[in-house]
Structure 1
Amino acid sequence: MSPETVRGTRGEDRSNYTREESRAIRQRSLRLLGSLLSPLRALIILTAGVVILSAVFRAVGPTLIAFGIDEALPRAVEDGDWGPTIGISLAYLAIGGGGAALVGWYVVLIAKLTQAVMIELRTRIFRHTQRLSLEFHEGYTSGRIISRQTSDLESIQELLSGSLSELIDAVLLGTFTLIALFLIDWRSGVLLVCMGIPLTLLMWWFVIESQKGFRATRTVSARLIVQFVETMTGIRAVQAFRREKRNDKTFAKVSDDYRRANLRVVNLFGVLDPGLVLLGNITVALVLLWGAFRVTDNALAVGALLAAVLYVRNFFGPLEEVAMFLNSYQSAVAALEKVSGVLEEEPTVQDPEHPVALPVARGALRFDDVSFRYGGADDPRVVLDDCNLAIPSGQTIALVGTTGAGKSTLAKLVARFYDPTEGRLTLDGIDLRELDPADMRRAIVMVTQEAYLFSGTVAENIALGKPDATPEQIRAAAIAVGADEFISALPDGYDTDVNKRGGRVSAGQRQLVSFARAFLADPAVLILDEATASLDLPSERLVQDALQTLLADRTAIIIAHRLSTVAIADRVLVMEHGRVVEDGSPGELIALGGRFAGLHAAWEDSLA
């Protein structure tokens, strides 16, 4: 894998990277951060100005104290002149009050900056993951996506809102403190700089080790969320197959891994924090001892020594905040790597650069030498092999065959969830890869076995494909597929919220709503992928009656194991191993005595 092509989705849940991969990931993360901050330049400049001024105000304090002790206080004691002392006191109060006001302003500004960045980042993730192809979502678990939107963004927000502001404040205050220390007693300043050598080594060690630790915690955190989400999503299967104890053990193992990863980071702070305190105390002791000798020799004033000690304490004090920043920084960097990886992922199904419009689709489909491999051209596993097929406008096609024969793959190609690896697939003579996406989505609608209802009313769910539909049109679509009766019986009819008490519907009823949704959209091509599998026999008969009317003027592709659904088809395609092995009307294929005839005979025997 070259550093330019490192992606954060296929291999992101790793804690170890090569040097080239780490460099590429850092560059990717920095690009993302730069794109988020560049529109906020004015706010950033204002925030920087406020924090710099605040640090200057606070750095002046010990110098005023030194001047007060060494200059103003002797004049008050010896000459009775209290003016300088009062003046110094008022100046100290003014600078302290001004510094506090600036700190408050800075907190407000950094909060505005943080929220602006977070809403942009959160929106980008949501928009981008919606735009990514089905291939991404089939290979990237929902738990990992949730982790990107929750724990990862929380880590980044914590860095921006708290730790980063503390770091900036600490760095500026430390810089101005060091400058002021050199101005008041350069010898103490040199001593402090010398102590910076072990301080730098300690910080460098922590940065290296914590980077490894926080990458591990982000990886395990994502696994923890994935385990929880998958268990809760599949809770029916968990309870049906009594997997509770096994899942308990698996979750306990992942939780323990998470605990160990966090303890590893905590142990690093167990070394860093005492090390900072020790270095600070040693430096204060050395400055105080050396300063005391010079005070006795009249080479240093008492006030200057006090100011030097205060400056040293002020210098080491913010280093605790730097340590806390490093804590949040490493966690946020690991999170930013994951987020930037998702945002760098490109859709495998790309929108055309120069889309061809198709305002009115007739629904004629054609496969020209179409082959498909899920892993791309280099994948030896051929799912659809050299398919040549013409489906005239208005014809109803039934796809039958054993599991894995390629039926659903063919349907996904028509819906352009995937693009052919080889060959071309056209709608009314236009390659789907060149067709305007809006026209294509309007012309082709797919209904799957997994009927999903979104939050909202039943009417809103039916109108999903046609938001401007009138209540009359919505009800007409429901009547057409036999859904009106059960919808009218709900507590609030079509205004019933499907996620509230009383709005619960069965799997078959959800499928009827999805049928109504598809028919209201009025596509030129309708794909039904095992769409009647969750319906009972009376509901299936009702839908079949509706299908014969509703499919009369549109192209339809029906995938079904129930051969009762196949009976309404004009033409049956029998698929085996990615190839169409039989093609003809139901009656013709039964008369031929081939594979379809065998399936039909087995189905009739099952009814008996």
Structure 2
Amino acid sequence: MRTLAVLRPRWAAVALAALLLVATTATSLAGPWILRYAVDNGLVGDHPDTGVVTRAGLLYLGLAVAGLALARVQVRLVGWIGEWLVRELRSRAADHVLAMSVRYFDRTPAGVLVSRLTADIDALQDVVQLGIVPFAQAVLTLTFLAVVLVALSWQLALVCLLPAAALVAATVWFRRASRAAFAAVRDRVADTVAALTERLAGLRVVRAFRQEAGTTELLLARSRRQLDANVTAVRVQSFYLAAMEFATVGSIAAVLAAGGALAARDAVTIGTLSAFVLYLLLAFEPVQSLSFLVTVLESAAAALRKIYALLDEPVDVPEGSRELVRTGPLAAEGVGFRYGDGRPDVLRGVDLTLRPGERVALVGPTGAGKSTLAKLMARLFDPTAGRVSYAGVDVREATWPALRSRVVMVAQDGQLTAGTLAHNLRAVRPRATDDELAAALAAVGAGNWLAGLPDGLATPVGEGGSLLSAGERQLVALARVCLLDADVVVLDEATSGLDPGTERLVEAALVAATAGRAVLVVAHRTSTVRGADRVVAVNAGGVTDLGAPYDTTHEYLDQH
């Protein structure tokens, strides 16, 4: 029902496809009925009438041609509807994931999300390409055949009841068994992808600590679990296939025996018996195909349930509806935060105000909550108590474009994506010109570096910025800040992990990129807090304003 709701904007196309499916199925099943007419009215008796046979042949030919034409239109229409559905689900899933807070990504393996957006969506594409039309036509064919068989001879139809009942029982069992089997397959696929993604992301660490053998053993173990799940699914499918074949063959044998007896007593005509047997033979193909198609559909249903489970994850940082029309201070008001129910508070009753143009440095021991407070101020996630406001407006009430035009955060890793330097800079301002991009880099002191690149702004940066140094990645991240022209910049240890020379270069770029803006900087080093108007210590869940004097800050850092 939920998928039907997704298809609601395409109801007209779905209805037309259903009508075409009915028409093509009816034309494909007309042959035996026409044969019955030809046999009973043109061949049986003392004076065969070839005219009847000729008319029957021409009628069958016309219906066959019409059926082929309708089938072509139907397949194209259903294919278009199916591809639209896959695109819509992929788009909704991607949008939903992107709406999540960083906390969601902290607790959800990246490999699982990759599996949902790739392998599970691909399973739906397989159904679109291989299963929707054949499955619907098989079910409709069997429904039509049941009606036609009863209309031809209710006595012979009764003979088919026992094999049909056995087939229904096997189908009910298969549906239950295959649902569990294919759900296990989807889970094992996600586990394998998650392990592979995690190890590839940390390949440098794997090699540095000679963990290749352990990594290979882990991936083999995940692959064996995936293989076991697939073997179980195949075993369930093979049993169902055997049951379907037995039911079909048993039905034909029983009808031939009973039909011969009825024909001898003139209870059925030769034409009726011939048509009945042909219809049973026509039932063999859809019954056989259902064993494969139900397998494909169950696999797709398992994938669909995983996708819907992802879509059902509550968005923990929902977008507001207010615009931020005024500039003003960014303030934490009685803010408290914990990472999950039942876990201790990381922050409690924190009050901190960052005034326009002010530079505030957050210091404190590792694990005190400095980065957590910075992420709350930038609304990467929401507090569990209190609120964060900008110019008096709760940031939870602001739209994302409005908030991000006012408050921007630069993380310590300077994350870039595969593509060119220009591509990564335009991530924050898609319509920025090349001159504006070059000006942003020049503003952070990277103009000479850009001029020295043979390809300039077209220089590839590699996946995750792997072709750039750590300092160069941070310069690009700071150039993005210049392009955004935000009022508040939150820096989460932007110089962490840099060598002293690169650190001085990036610190100079920080000053240039944040000139005239309010800055909240998270720092572990005393060098990072130089130039701060105010230093705030974060410790034991609270904050302490250390004021401006650098000596006081230096003494605090030495103690902690």
Q: TM-score range by the shorter chain?
A: over 0.9
Q: 2:455 aligns with which of 484, 489, 492?
A: 492
> What is residue 176 of structure 1 aligned with on the other side?
144
Q: Distance in 1 between matches of 2:260 and 2:484?
A: 88
CA deviations over 1:321-358 (Å, ceiling 9, x no partner): 222222122111111111111112222122235x2x33
Contact between 1:170 and 1:322, CA under 8 Å: does it hold in 2?
A: yes
CA deviations over 1:497-530 (Å, ceiling 9, x no partner): 3249x99322221111111111222221111111
How far off is 1:136 after superposition? 1.6
Contact between 2:182 and 2:298, CA under 8 Å: does it hold in 1?
A: yes
Flag the 1:545–1:292 CA change in 2: closer, same or farther, 3 A: closer
How far off is 1:135 after superposition? 1.9
Write the letter of the residue equivalent to 2:400.
P
> What is residue 553 of structure 1 aligned with on the other side?
516
Q: How many residues align?
A: 559
> What is residue 396 of structure 1 aligned with on the other side?
359
Unaligned regions of 5+ residues in structure 2, if any?
Answer: none
> What is residue 327 of structure 2 aligned with on the other side?
361
SS state at 1:317 partner: helix
Flag the 1:465–1:82 CA change in 2: closer, same or farther, 3 A: closer
Q: 2:29 aligns with which of 42, 56, 59?
A: 59
Q: 1:230 aligns with which of 198, 211, 215?
A: 198
Q: Distance in 2 between matches of 1:176 and 1:581?
A: 79
Write the letter of the residue equivalent to 2:72.
G
- 1:205-216 residue pairs with structure 2 within 5 A? 205-216=173-184
Q: 2:442 aligns with which of 469, 479, 486?
A: 479
How far off is 1:597 after superposition? 4.2
Please tell me whether residue 410 in structure 1 is matched to residue 373 in structure 2.
yes
How far off is 1:225 after superposition? 0.9
> What is residue 260 of structure 2 aligned with on the other side?
292
Q: Distance in 2 between matches of 1:452 and 1:194?
A: 65
Deviates more, 1:490-499 or 1:222-231: 490-499
Flag the 1:552–1:272 CA change in 2: closer, same or farther, 3 A: closer
Q: Distance in 1 between matches of 2:381 and 2:119?
A: 31
Please tell me whether residue 140 in structure 1 is matched to residue 113 in structure 2.
no
Please tell me whether residue 279 in structure 1 is matched to residue 247 in structure 2.
yes
- 1:419-458 residue pairs with structure 2 within 5 A? 419-458=382-421
Write the letter of the residue equivalent to 1:374.
Y
Contact between 1:496 and 1:503, CA under 8 Å: does it hold in 2?
A: no
Q: Distance in 2 between matches of 1:458 and 1:87?
A: 73
> What is residue 39 of structure 1 aligned with on the other side?
9
Please tell me whether residue 90 in structure 1 is matched to residue 53 in structure 2.
no
Contact between 1:178 and 1:315, CA under 8 Å: does it hold in 2?
A: no
Q: Distance in 2 between matches of 1:597 and 1:257?
A: 52
> What is residue 189 of structure 1 aligned with on the other side?
157
Q: Distance in 2 between matches of 1:179 and 1:434?
A: 60
Contact between 1:174 and 1:314, CA under 8 Å: does it hold in 2?
A: no
Flag the 1:452–1:69 CA change in 2: closer, same or farther, 3 A: same
Write the letter of the residue equivalent to 2:90.
R
- 1:345-360 residue pairs with structure 2 within 5 A? 345-353=313-321, 355=322, 357-360=323-326
Contact between 1:366 and 1:388, CA under 8 Å: does it hold in 2?
A: yes
Q: Distance in 2 between matches of 1:91 and 1:549?
A: 84
- Report the RMSD for the aligned CA atoms in angstroms: 2.2
Normalising to structure 2: TM-score of the pair? 0.94
Write the letter of the residue equivalent to 1:388.
D
- 1:531-542 residue pairs with structure 2 within 5 A? 531-542=494-505
Q: 2:271 aligns with which of 288, 295, 303?
A: 303
Unaligned regions of 5+ residues in structure 1, if any?
Answer: 1-29, 600-608
Contact between 2:99 and 2:317, CA under 8 Å: does it hold in 1?
A: no
Contact between 1:70 and 1:303, CA under 8 Å: does it hold in 2?
A: yes
Q: Distance in 1 between matches of 2:461 and 2:258?
A: 77
CA deviations over 1:391-410 (Å, ceiling 9, x no partner): 33222111122210100001
CA deviations over 1:519-559 (Å, ceiling 9, x no partner): 22222111111111243322322333343454342111111
SS state at 2:389 partner: strand
Flag the 1:66–1:546 CA change in 2: closer, same or farther, 3 A: closer
Q: Distance in 2 between matches of 1:275 and 1:543?
A: 71
Flag the 1:534–1:458 CA change in 2: closer, same or farther, 3 A: farther
Q: Distance in 2 between matches of 1:584 and 1:170?
A: 77
Q: Distance in 2 between matches of 1:315 and 1:242?
A: 60
Identity in percent: 33
> What is residue 124 of structure 2 aligned with on the other side?
156
Contact between 1:449 and 1:529, CA under 8 Å: does it hold in 2?
A: yes
SS state at 2:413 partner: coil
> What is residue 338 of structure 1 aligned with on the other side?
306
Flag the 1:549–1:518 CA change in 2: closer, same or farther, 3 A: closer
How far off is 1:580 after superposition? 2.1
Q: Distance in 2 between matches of 1:154 and 1:390?
A: 49
Write the letter of the residue equivalent to 1:442.
S
Contact between 1:366 and 1:390, CA under 8 Å: does it hold in 2?
A: yes
Q: Distance in 2 between matches of 1:109 and 1:463?
A: 38
> What is residue 4 of structure 1 aligned with on the other side?
none
Q: Distance in 1 between matches of 2:160 and 2:314?
A: 51
SS state at 1:449 partner: coil
CA deviations over 1:206-259 (Å, ceiling 9, x no partner): 111111111111111111111111111111111111111111111111111111
Contact between 2:359 and 2:518, CA under 8 Å: does it hold in 1?
A: yes
> What is residue 288 of structure 2 aligned with on the other side?
320
Contact between 2:479 and 2:513, CA under 8 Å: does it hold in 1?
A: no
SS state at 1:464 partner: coil
CA deviations over 1:288-347 (Å, ceiling 9, x no partner): 011112333343332322211111222233112222222122111111111111112222
How far off is 1:581 after superposition? 4.0
Q: Distance in 2 between matches of 1:404 and 1:347?
A: 26
> What is residue 589 of structure 1 aligned with on the other side?
552
Flag the 1:273–1:544 CA change in 2: closer, same or farther, 3 A: closer
SS state at 1:318 partner: helix
Q: Distance in 2 between matches of 1:291 and 1:472?
A: 87
Q: Distance in 2 between matches of 1:259 and 1:80?
A: 63
